[in-house]
Amino acid sequence: MTATISSSPEDKYRGSYDGSGRESLDDLLPSSTPPLMAKKRATRSRSVLTWAAITGAAILAAILFVFAVVRALSYFGWKSDFLHGSKASVPDYFQTTTEVLPGPTKTAAIAPFLAQTNTVVFPAGTWAPNQPLQTAVPIEGNTNNSNIFQVHGHLSSYFANPVGFGVDEYPLPPGAKIAQMHLLHRHGSRYPTLQSSVSDFAAKVENLTSTGAAKWSGRLSFLQDWKYTLGAEILVARGRQELFDSGVLHYYNYGSLYNTSTKILARTTSQDRMLKSAEYFMAGFFGLEWAQNVTLEPILETFGLNNSLAGYFACENALNFRSQGGNNASRAWERVYLADATARLREFTGDYEWTVADSYNAQTLCPYETVAYGFSRWCDLFTYDEWLGFEYSIDLQFQGGSGFGSPTGRAVGIGFVEEFHARLQGHLYDLPPGATNVNHTLDTMAETFPLHQNLYLDFSHDTNIYSVLTAFGLTQFADQLPATHRLEPRNVTVSHITPFAAKMVWEVIDAPRPVKARRPDPAKGADEHYDDGGATKYVHLTLSQRTVPLGESYPECGRRSDGWCDMDTFMRILDGLLEQAKYEFSCFGNYTAIPYGNVTDASRTLLWDWTLTRDHDATPTLQSTTASLTKPASRIASITNWNAWRPPELPSHLPFRPMIRTPAQLEGAEWAMVQGSIDAELQRARHRAHLQRARVRALWRHARGGGRVREPGGAIAGSRGGWTGLGKRWVRLEGEE
């Protein structure tokens, strides 16, 4: 497969993501990709090879001798641990000591020396020690003593989300327990990736200095002897700390889920920073002897390989112009929010015409140098408001490149979602090859697919985790971000979703009875926490240690104050996600680029009204609409209407979701139509039927011949998934008390 990627010079100045190589794949790929083993050998140093050649004959003789002995022993019935334990017999997917496909690695040219580099002057009595980074940097306009290092998007060092996602946190109700934890973890703070534009910018600055083309003065005087000394791709010390700390954190949160008489399987990718992040985490969780507790599986990561933890590498359209809408929008936004800074800095450059791109690169160097050296001279060049603008530039990139604003957002993340789906159902991944980006070989073998564990530990990259969020259909994060001004408030804040060492945690909770949707004071007696009914399972999602209210994205889960969703409902939601991701089409379809701002989701549910059916045959525009639904470019994944019958004029390949919303529909012909349909859900339309929530639940229970109402919170809403913002708001209104 060859990459078709537009690599205009403009692209080069973007700050880089983790692993997508969206700007310049050429850096990652040799012109003809060598076989994997050859590549592994090539990473060995020349001196080792020379040494090996000289002593080769002797070693060969020794090996032949040992081999003969081992064969002789096994002839006599000995089990050969020696051979099975040797490197040669460890398959690449369990190889951790000799790295296979570690990706580019480069250490920094100098080691930090904070006493010499930190130029912050603290007025008397205000000295703030570094911990370990120096984040007490004076920033103009920072009136609230905010931390600019927490608005650096995916380049922020890990911090717990300080504002939450719209609900409070609750302890487990008495008698309930966490049965499983599924963790998807980002690697820690790193040097810039090779595609980052900051190294080109640095070369340019150094050239401007040495040739005298720029005369740095004032705020930029430090450039006179500034050198770019960062490494590339691999973890910095702060990144090691983040993962170790996270292992410790998760030990305290979930240590009891680990069954000490088992060895669990954990997965990461083969990239150096990914493998090491997983290892530091394990050291924090289990201690340095963690290899007794965990088998680590580094799944090969490079362009062209299937890997659900780096899903973009198998998705052509995620790497080309079709998914560049976010970058385009971000670039437009830079010209807005950095106009002042660019004019301001232009004063200090002599004859050189400082550009907006220079300002953006200068900003990007602040987080990178800070995590590498503890301090950076670039940070205080910008006002607090400009740092908020920087954060927003990253939100635009992620939303348009990997989120609901990207045509490939769902497709890239669906592999992990389907793995999770299979684990929850307790079986190996069983979709046909090519249905998602998982490595089919590994996912269909018990030895390499984690299953029947209480604790699942997976490691991934920022954009990939963001796409997983999208593939889950968490439309709470589907805001349409304008490229002209910062949308405030907004839900898409990458700093709170995928900073360095980000954590997405899915808990499975066993409760003895249905937990009340409106949680009582935790101190109340056990009975007050529960509704009548039998044992109930729930899922609970946290991102950056704060609960994501599932009911906001899945109305079927109800508006629960704890943000949980009951497992039965959640499993039905999971059942529909693969179809909505349209993996094949999104990743490999030949569609025209959808300009930024037009896509809100990779696929949508079309809400159709009976009057459209009535008028269809007489209305040419309606006919062209229905005809367009059969085109591949249509991103409609399913259809619904306000009734239980299928609109006959809509294409038959689209699944239909019937709707029941009035008491009359609970009987007669329409009711008969939904019998046997697991998709049927009760839709309440108060302005038509004037029903109270309790009444709807009673009717539903009656209609089903008694039994429990599935939607514990009672916010019984329309058909699941894929709503556009407009459609979602519509249904919300219908569902509001």
From 134, 193, 195, 306, residue interacting with ligand NAG (rule: CB under 6 A)? 306
From 5, 12, 39, 92, residue interacting with ligand NAG (rule: CB under 6 A)? 92
140/609 with CB nearer ligand NAG: 140
From 393, 402, 476, 547, residue interacting with ligand NAG (rule: CB under 6 A)? 476
Token pair belonging to 177? 């327990």
Interface segment toward ligand NAG; rule CB under 6 A; list 149-157, 297-305, 370-378, 620-628: 297-305
Interface segment toward ligand NAG; rule CB under 6 A; list 214-222, 460-468, 587-595, 706-714: 587-595
Q: How many CB atoms lie within 10 A of CB 686?
A: 16
Token pair belonging to 371? 């995590």
384/645 with CB nearer ligand NAG: 384
256/692 with CB nearer ligand NAG: 256
Amino acid letter, 336: V
Instruction: Check residue 138 for interaction with ligand NAG (CB under 6 A).
Output: no
Number of residues located near ligand NAG, criterion CB under 6 A: 47
From 32, 590, 611, 675, residue interacting with ligand NAG (rule: CB under 6 A)? 590
| Binding-site string for ligand NAG from residue 380 to residue 399, where x marks contact by CB under 6 A and - marks none | ----x---------------
Alpha-helical runs (H) found in 434-538: 440-443, 462-471, 494-497
148/699 with CB nearer ligand NAG: 148
* Strand pairing class (294-299; 264-269): parallel
Q: Could you say which DSSP state residue 133 is in?
A: S
Instruction: Check residue 479 for interaction with ligand NAG (CB under 6 A).
Output: yes
From 262, 619, 630, 692, residue interacting with ligand NAG (rule: CB under 6 A)? 262
Q: Cβ of residue 377: shortest distance to ligand NAG, in angstroms?
A: 22
Q: Could you say which DSSP state residue 212 is in?
A: T
Interface segment toward ligand NAG; rule CB under 6 A; list 238-246, 323-331, 343-351, 415-423: 323-331
Site for ligand NAG in 498-557 (CB under 6 A): 552
Q: What are the backbone angles phi and psi of residue 295, rounded to the nearest 5°?
A: -100, 125
Cα 614 to Cα 622: distance, rounded to the nearest angstrom: 11
From 300, 356, 539, 543, residue interacting with ligand NAG (rule: CB under 6 A)? 300
- Per-residue b/e over 582-603, b at no fewer than 16 CB within 10 Å? bbebbbebeeeebebbebbbbb
Q: Which is it for the CA torsion 511, 514, 517, 519, positive or negative?
A: negative
Alpha-helical runs (H) found in 498-582: 550-553, 567-575, 577-581
Instruction: Check residue 442 for interaction with ligand NAG (CB under 6 A).
Output: yes
From 478, 494, 637, 654, residue interacting with ligand NAG (rule: CB under 6 A)? 478
479/601 with CB nearer ligand NAG: 479
Cα 277 to Cα 158: distance, rounded to the nearest angstrom: 13
From 74, 256, 259, 628, residue interacting with ligand NAG (rule: CB under 6 A)? 259
Q: Cβ of residue 341: shortest distance to ligand NAG, in angstroms?
A: 17
Burial of 683 (0-12, 13-18, 19+ CB in 10 A): buried
* Strand pairing class (455-460; 656-657): unpaired
376/600 with CB nearer ligand NAG: 600
Instruction: Check residue 352 for interaction with ligand NAG (CB under 6 A).
Output: no
The candidate with the shortest Cα–Cα distance to 398, out of 259, 267, 496, is: 496
Site for ligand NAG in 22-81 (CB under 6 A): none
Instruction: Check residue 143 for interaction with ligand NAG (CB under 6 A).
Output: yes
Chain centroid to Cα 438, Å, comes to 15
103 dihedral zone (left: phi>0; alpha: psi -120 to 50; beta): left
**585 three-state secondary structure:** helix
Q: How many CB atoms lie within 10 A of CB 524?
A: 13
Cα 407 to Cα 417: distance, rounded to the nearest angstrom: 17
Instruction: Check residue 175 for interaction with ligand NAG (CB under 6 A).
Output: no
The candidate with the shortest Cα–Cα distance to 733, out of 710, 720, 717, is: 717
From 13, 165, 201, 390, residue interacting with ligand NAG (rule: CB under 6 A)? 165
- Owner of token pair 């090879």: 49
- Owner of token pair 């269809």: 616
| Binding-site string for ligand NAG from residue 400 to residue 439, where x marks contact by CB under 6 A and - marks none | ---------------------------------xx----x
**Cα dist. 664→668, 700, 715 in Å?**
8, 12, 20
Q: What are the backbone angles phi and psi of residue 297, rounded to the nearest 5°?
A: -115, 100
Under a CB-based contact definition with an 8 Å cutoff, are residues 519 and 530 in contact?
A: no
383/662 with CB nearer ligand NAG: 383
Cα 195 to Cα 535: distance, rounded to the nearest angstrom: 51
Q: Cβ of residue 207: shortest distance to ligand NAG, in angstroms?
A: 4
From 156, 453, 464, 491, residue interacting with ligand NAG (rule: CB under 6 A)? 491
129/489 with CB nearer ligand NAG: 489
Instruction: Check residue 378 for interaction with ligand NAG (CB under 6 A).
Output: no
Residue nearest to ligand NAG (CB): 166
Site for ligand NAG in 270-289 (CB under 6 A): 286
**505 three-state secondary structure:** strand
Cα 503 to Cα 186: distance, rounded to the nearest angstrom: 6
H helix or E strand, kind and range, residue 638: strand 636-641
Q: Cβ of residue 230: shortest distance to ligand NAG, in angstroms?
A: 18
From 47, 97, 126, 292, residue interacting with ligand NAG (rule: CB under 6 A)? 292
- Three-state secondary structure readout of 309-362: HHHHHHCHHHCCHHHCHHHHHHHHHHHHHCHHHHHHHHCCCCCCCCCHHHHHHH
Instruction: Check residue 17 for interaction with ligand NAG (CB under 6 A).
Output: no
Instruction: Check residue 211 for interaction with ligand NAG (CB under 6 A).
Output: yes
Instruction: Check residue 632 for interaction with ligand NAG (CB under 6 A).
Output: no
Q: Cβ of residue 599: shortest distance to ligand NAG, in angstroms?
A: 8
237/593 with CB nearer ligand NAG: 593
264/666 with CB nearer ligand NAG: 264
Interface segment toward ligand NAG; rule CB under 6 A; list 259-267, 505-513, 607-615, 619-627: 259-267
Q: What are the backbone angles phi and psi of residue 638, rounded to the nearest 5°?
A: -160, 170
Residues within the interface to ligand NAG (CB under 6 A): 1, 6, 92-93, 143-144, 165-166, 203, 207, 211, 258-262, 286, 292-293, 300, 304-306, 314, 321-322, 324-325, 328, 384, 433-434, 439-442, 476, 478-479, 491, 552, 590, 593-596, 598
